[in-house]
């Protein structure tokens, strides 16, 4: 493939135009595989820039709402077609900006296309119900109204899919949008917004402002003209979003951390379980909110599973995601690499046995990147830090149990409840897991990571604000129900 290494400055998108920040300051986006390479520059925006974007969205909302939902859907179809024509370009930028392998980045971008088409189709679905009235001369029904202006705050790990799965339903249901992407992947976000621009969305319907969380993110939380906030990121920041939105009466939706288990029962297909554990835990360098982190294995098959797992982990090829044959890329940044390494040290210091990996990769050709070895710990107990806190890196913690009841109890013994999976051929094990697992997404004989775009997604406990994203469930957040009573 031909890599575009041109260094450009990408601007904010406000009121249908590309513009620099009010101070003209920019920040560099760095390639984590080659830290001496700048992918591009994006604005260091101010509250003034955010105010302009919110005003633009507010002014556009009434006309956008009055368009029919099918008409709004036609715009989303156009965006999908533009994005589909640029899949390789957007995917290459994603790989260079946050390290995801090129094949994974292409898959994510294709998913963005599918999400846009799915929600374009939602414009043809019903948004209310007829309800019987006790008055036989009256007609009663429900309709849905958009929130108004929606602030969208997104992370760096899925810089195409997550913004789109928030923006697409917001738009189809009649809201206008102000996007604040993660600074680490703001160039990729700009390329996504270019697709909306080229599709000809009406002026002001979608806006993007880049900058720090402390300025732009906090500004979205506090802004009186932002009616709803949808956020994906860390649980600490999510709490700030929720508290700030609640204080001023704005609707909010939070998708936060995970500490996702996979249970391997004694009757599991071990080869399948090993492959899924590696894919779920180590693909995307473990930088998924649904990534497998804890591997809870029945003692009967523990040693055999461990041997198979370690052997396959040792075969993983790490490198620049643009290269052919690379299975795992770098951590997204130097800060994220240091976070992962600090958790590995905590694991060793607290008594876990390091089976494989655990080091920064400094081999020639990789020494200028944020590379870490895929890592597996043995003998992990539930009181250890690496068994409780989200690492967001390629680190697996093996834990031994004697029966299924103990496995489920251990799987639930964390503050998070996003996703979980089990490998078993026993129907009762499956049913117990579905009933007793405290997670918003449970998967049987499949990896913990991933959810289909037409299905509701969200967590329990500290993983979310208990609302759901994606699928038809998205309408619950992005609209309010209005009950209508008509009598002649």
CATH code of the domain covering residue 222: 3.40.605.10
Do both 245 and 374 map to the same domain?
Answer: no
Do both 445 and 483 map to the same domain?
Answer: no
Catalytic residue list contains 255: yes
Do both 409 and 377 map to the same domain?
Answer: yes
Answer for the pair 101, 91: CB distance below 8 angstroms, yes or no: no
Do both 374 and 477 map to the same domain?
Answer: no
The CA–CA distances, whole Å, from 327 to 164, 175, 285, 316, 372 equal 26, 39, 9, 6, 13
Do both 373 and 447 map to the same domain?
Answer: yes
Residue 61's closest CA among 209, 254, 228, 241?
Answer: 228
Residue 1's pLDDT band (cuts 50, 70, 90):
low
Half-sphere exposure of 109 (CA within 13 A, CB side): 28
Do both 163 and 210 map to the same domain?
Answer: yes
Whether 97 is covered by a domain: the verdict is yes
Instruction: Indicate which CATH number applies to the domain containing 377.
Output: 3.40.309.10
Q: What percent of the chain has pLDDT over 90?
A: 97
Question: At a CB cut-off of 8 Å and minimum separation 6, what does 279 contact?
Answer: 447, 449
- Cα–Cα distance, 483 to 138 (Å, whole number): 13
- What tokens appear for 458 in the block? 């969200």
- Cα–Cα distance, 42 to 9 (Å, whole number): 6
DSSP-derived 3-state class of residue 384: coil
Give per-residue pLDDT as tens, 176-235.
Answer: 999 999 999 999 999 999 999 999 999 999 999 999 999 999 999 999 999 999 999 999
Do both 349 and 337 map to the same domain?
Answer: yes
pLDDT of 336 higher than 80: yes
Residue 7's pLDDT band (cuts 50, 70, 90):
confident
For the chain, the average pLDDT equals 97
Q: Burial of 334 by CB count in 10 Å (0-12 exposed, 13-18 middle, 19+ buried)?
A: middle
Q: Among the options 97, 104, 194, 255, which is catalytic?
A: 255
Give per-residue pLDDT as tens, 53-99.
Answer: 999 999 999 999 999 999 999 999 999 999 999 999 999 999 999 99
Radius of gyration of the chain (CA): 23
Do both 422 and 297 map to the same domain?
Answer: yes
Per-residue pLDDT at 488? 84
- Cα–Cα distance, 92 to 247 (Å, whole number): 41
Q: What percent of the chain has pLDDT over 70?
A: 99
Q: What is the average pLDDT across 28-42?
A: 96
Per-residue pLDDT at 450? 82
Domain with 401, as residue range(s), is 260-453
Dihedral-angle region of residue 19 (phi above 0 means left; psi in -120 to 50 means alpha; beta otherwise): beta
pLDDT of 5 higher than 80: no
Per-residue pLDDT at 6? 78
- Cα–Cα distance, 450 to 23 (Å, whole number): 40
445: DSSP letter: S
DSSP-derived 3-state class of residue 302: helix
Do both 296 and 445 map to the same domain?
Answer: yes
Do both 435 and 471 map to the same domain?
Answer: no
- Cα–Cα distance, 485 to 203 (Å, whole number): 35
Q: How many domains does the chain have?
A: 2
Answer for the pair 219, 102: CB distance below 8 angstroms, yes or no: no
Whether 337 is covered by a domain: the verdict is yes
Do both 48 and 140 map to the same domain?
Answer: yes
- Cα–Cα distance, 466 to 255 (Å, whole number): 9
Whether 459 is covered by a domain: the verdict is no
Per-residue pLDDT at 2? 61
Residue 20's pLDDT band (cuts 50, 70, 90):
very high
- Cα–Cα distance, 35 to 37 (Å, whole number): 5
Do both 361 and 317 map to the same domain?
Answer: yes
Poorest-confidence range of 108-112, 119-123, 250-254, 364-368?
364-368
Residues in the chain: 488
Whether 16 is covered by a domain: the verdict is yes
């Amino acid at each position: 493939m031909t890599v575009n290494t041109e260094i450009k400055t990408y601007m904010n998108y406000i009121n249908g135009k590309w513009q620099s920040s009010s101070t003209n300051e920019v920040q560099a986006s760095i390639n984590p595989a080659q830290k001496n390479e700048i992918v591009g520059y994006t604005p260091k925006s101010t509250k003034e820039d955010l105010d302009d974007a919110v005003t633009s969205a507010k002014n556009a909302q009434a006309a956008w709402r009055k368009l029919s939902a099918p008409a709004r859907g036609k715009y989303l179809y156009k965006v999908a077609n533009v994005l589909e024509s640029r899949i390789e370009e957007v995917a290459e930028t994603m790989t260079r900006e946050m390290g995801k392998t090129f094949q994974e980045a292409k898959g994510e971008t294709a998913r963005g296309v599918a999400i846009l088409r799915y929600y374009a189709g939602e414009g043809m679905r019903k948004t209310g119900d007829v309800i019987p009235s006790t008055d036989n001369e009256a007609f009663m029904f429900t309709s849905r109204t958009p929130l108004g202006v929606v602030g969208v705050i997104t992370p760096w790990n899925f810089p195409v899919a997550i913004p789109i799965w928030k923006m697409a339903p917001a738009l189809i249901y009649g809201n206008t949008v102000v996007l604040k992407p993660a600074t680490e992947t703001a160039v990729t976000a700009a390329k996504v917004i270019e697709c909306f621009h080229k599709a000809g969305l009406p002026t002001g319907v979608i806006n993007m402002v880049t900058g720090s969380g402390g300025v732009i993110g906090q500004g979205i939380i506090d802004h009186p003209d932002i009616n709803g906030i949808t956020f994906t990121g860390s649980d600490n920041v999510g709490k700030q979003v929720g508290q700030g939105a609640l204080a001023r009466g704005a609707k909010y939706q939070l998708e936060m951390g995970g500490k996702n288990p996979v249970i391997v029962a004694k009757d599991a297909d071990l080869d399948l379980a090993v492959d899924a554990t590696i894919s779920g835990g180590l693909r995307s360098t473990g930088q998924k909110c649904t990534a497998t982190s804890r591997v809870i294995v029945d003692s009967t098959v523990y040693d055999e599973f461990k041997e198979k797992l370690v052997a396959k982990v040792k075969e993983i090829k790490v490198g620049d995601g643009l290269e052919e044959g690379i299975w795992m890329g770098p951590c997204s940044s130097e800060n994220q690499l240091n976070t992962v390494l600090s958790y590995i040290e905590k694991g060793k210091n607290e008594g876990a046995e390091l089976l494989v990996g655990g080091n920064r990769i400094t081999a020639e050709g990789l020494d200028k990147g944020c590379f870490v070895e895929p890592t597996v710990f043995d003998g992990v107990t539930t009181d250890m830090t690496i068994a409780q806190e989200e690492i967001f890196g390629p680190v697996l913690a093996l834990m031994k149990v004697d029966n299924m009841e103990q496995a489920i109890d251990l799987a639930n013994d964390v503050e998070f409840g996003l996703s979980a999976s089990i490998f078993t051929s026993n129907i009762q094990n499956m049913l117990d897991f579905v009933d007793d697992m405290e997670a918003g997404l449970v998967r049987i004989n499949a990896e913990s990571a991933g959810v289909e775009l037409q299905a509701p997604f969200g967590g329990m406990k500290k993983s979310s604000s208990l609302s759901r994203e994606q699928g038809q469930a998205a309408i619950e957040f992005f609209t309010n129900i209005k009950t209508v009573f008509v009598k002649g």
